Amino acid sequence: MKMLSKILAVVITTSVCTACAQSQSQPNTIKERVDNYFAENPGKFSGAIEIQENGKTVYQNAFGFADKENNIPATMETKFVIGSISKTFTSVMVLKAAKDGKLSLSDPLSKFFPDAQIPNAEKITVDMLLYHRSGLSDVVNDHLVDHLTYYTKPQTRAQMMERIAKAGVNFAPDSTFRYCNSGFILLSYILEDTFGKSFEQLLNEQITKPLKLKNTGVIYPPFDGKKGFARSYSATGELQEEFHPSTVLGAGAMYSTTGDLIKFFNALTSGYFGSDIFEQMKDFKDNWGRGLFPLETTDYKGFGHTGGIHGFAALMFKFDNITFVSFSNYGSTGLTDLIKTILGIEIEKPQYATLSAAQLAKFEGKYTCEKLGLDVEIKLNGTQIFGQVTRQPEFPLFPTAENTIENKDAGIVMVFDFDNIKFTLKQNGMEYEFVKLAPETSDSQPINVEQFEKYTGSYRSDALKMDISVFIENNKLMAQASGQPSFPLTPTAEDAFEFKMGGIAMTFNVNDKKMKLKQRGMEFEFVKK
């Protein structure tokens, strides 16, 4: 699973509308507004959308291609990967199990996994997993480079449990919130052990079969466009590799159609699974609940969940009498404006500031957010500012003031405090503080750029079934795994380099035409092709 669409894992994939005044000039009906939006933004969206108002469907439409290679258009019957909206289904099943006395939300992990050596297993409860308050490190987002070595291959429970145990912890149990896929992988296993059935069987028996959701389930590769499944693409149109469900399970391995998902959401919000279960899911702490989270604008209060995985982006939200589901297989571009359009909120044209080169340069640097466990690099290319999370694609940022930059499509605003070398990221009513990191100079060794030439080329690991290209760009040595964003290599010795943000170290043996890659205690050998 490539988390290319999960820039700032909790942040961009939960991008929705920020507060602004309701337009008096927009068309009156949702259908008119949405039709106008797509007419004014041709080609900006690929996927499917369904909207209900007062329980009645008022808009359904599909755009773009489900499978570009085979020229298969997206339709309302196309099955899309829903990513982390899978967590809402998992939460329902866990809360049902607790209601039926099969388990308790206060049960510690040690009860279910006594021999797994998971840190703090005796203190972490089922409820903390649901709330993302366990403190466990996320084996997807916190260990993305490692995750990319296995996400396309079937994984056993033992393999995933070992990774979760080795990943360690980020904070004491229940002391704060931090989005964590590890917790929902563990919840999947807890459900399986509690009922003696697979996650897929439980999903079918408890949710999809009773609700007659015929196009909802666990996704398995290949994602075949000829069988009604959407394939995913990067923002530049590149076909994305397909993940195996065993790597994420109840954290993100499901697919659905807009019709099925909105039917599930309506059942949940109407109390089909129990009004008490629905209320438990909406019992928010730190702006997060059990499988749902809240959203507010000037005129609307809402809740729902998002999903972003490997080029797929999904939304499932309810604002008062408006319920909508949206899927995209080209990432999340434009979703913020789409939501504003649905709700009848004016889309304001951005007012960008004209700054000097010296003013733009002040934004540059590497920043870290302890709460999210993410690093972001802000860099300048000519007069354009870009942001980049470790191992993720760059995204453009635009200045609106001397100390403020934004990405309107993602609903992101970054306000900088240059004196205290930090910035505040604002989105969806939430704020996160990022602190500037010191330049990586202490371990760096001087090296002539001309010496880089002997390390360039394509290297292959048969164990990982992966190629890594090493090349020179702007007088820097760069590396890039197949289908992944490139990253810079900083010399630590004449034949050794590192990428600190990714925890990667590379050592080259020019004579034997080999390269060793080390990352988080693991070592892999690559041979030059």
pLDDT at 341 over 80: yes
Domain co-membership, 303 together with 247: yes
On whether residue 348 sits in a domain, the answer given is: no
d(CA 51, CA 318): 10
Give per-residue pLDDT as tens, 88-106: 999 999 999 999 999 999 9
Contact by Cβ (8 Å): 316, 261: yes
On whether residue 4 sits in a domain, the answer given is: no
pLDDT at 7: 32
Domain count, the chain: 3
Domain co-membership, 64 together with 37: yes
Among 413, 436, 459, the domain-final residue is: 436
pLDDT at 11: 34
Highest mean pLDDT among 36-50, 211-225, 414-428: 211-225
Domain co-membership, 511 together with 372: no
Instruction: Assign residue 243 the CATH number of its domain.
Output: 3.40.710.10
Mean pLDDT over 233-255 rounds to 88
d(CA 136, CA 280): 22
HSE, side-chain direction, 13 A CA sphere, residue 310: 31
On whether residue 74 sits in a domain, the answer given is: yes
- φ and ψ at residue 334, rounded to 5 degrees: 85, 0
The fraction of the chain above a pLDDT of 70, given in percent, is: 87
Domain co-membership, 411 together with 453: no
pLDDT band at residue 520, thresholds of 50, 70 and 90?
Answer: low
On whether residue 487 sits in a domain, the answer given is: yes
Among 276, 309, 343, the domain-final residue is: 343
pLDDT at 16: 29
pLDDT band at residue 504, thresholds of 50, 70 and 90?
Answer: confident
Contact by Cβ (8 Å): 473, 480: no
Domain hosting 507: range is 449-528
Name the residue with tokens 């008119």.
Answer: 32
Domain co-membership, 381 together with 518: no
Domain co-membership, 102 together with 161: yes
On whether residue 400 sits in a domain, the answer given is: yes
135-189-95-137 Cα dihedral, nearest 10 degrees: 10
Domain co-membership, 281 together with 399: no
Domain co-membership, 296 together with 426: no
Domain co-membership, 503 together with 361: no
Query: In 148-298, which ranges are continuous DSSP H helix?
Result: 157-167, 181-195, 199-203, 258-269, 275-281
Position with higher pLDDT, 259 vs 42:
259
Instruction: Assign residue 405 the CATH number of its domain.
Output: 2.40.128.50
- φ and ψ at residue 128, rounded to 5 degrees: -65, -35
Contact by Cβ (8 Å): 491, 497: yes
Residue 206 DSSP class: I
Mean pLDDT over 190-216 rounds to 98
pLDDT at 186: 98
Name the residue with tokens 């439980």.
Answer: 202
Give per-residue pLDDT as tens, 297-317: 767 889 999 998 888 999 999
HSE, side-chain direction, 13 A CA sphere, residue 68: 14
Stated as kind and residue range, the H or E segment containing 135 is none
* Token duo for residue 509: 């043996």
pLDDT at 291 over 90: yes
pLDDT at 370: 76
d(CA 374, CA 389): 7
Domain co-membership, 466 together with 516: yes
pLDDT band at residue 375, thresholds of 50, 70 and 90?
Answer: confident
Among 343, 377, 410, the domain-final residue is: 343
pLDDT at 374 over 80: no
On whether residue 26 sits in a domain, the answer given is: yes
**pLDDT averaged over the chain?**
86
Q: How far apart are the first and last CA of the chain?
A: 26
Give per-residue pLDDT as tens, 2-39: 332 333 333 333 332 222 333 345 568 999 999 998 88
Contact by Cβ (8 Å): 256, 82: yes
pLDDT band at residue 448, thresholds of 50, 70 and 90?
Answer: low
The fraction of the chain above a pLDDT of 90, given in percent, is: 61
pLDDT at 523 over 90: no
Question: What does DSSP say about strands 322-328 and 312-319: parallel, antiparallel, or unpaired?
Answer: antiparallel
Domain co-membership, 284 together with 368: no
pLDDT at 522 over 80: no
pLDDT at 407: 85
On whether residue 224 sits in a domain, the answer given is: yes
Domain co-membership, 189 together with 236: yes
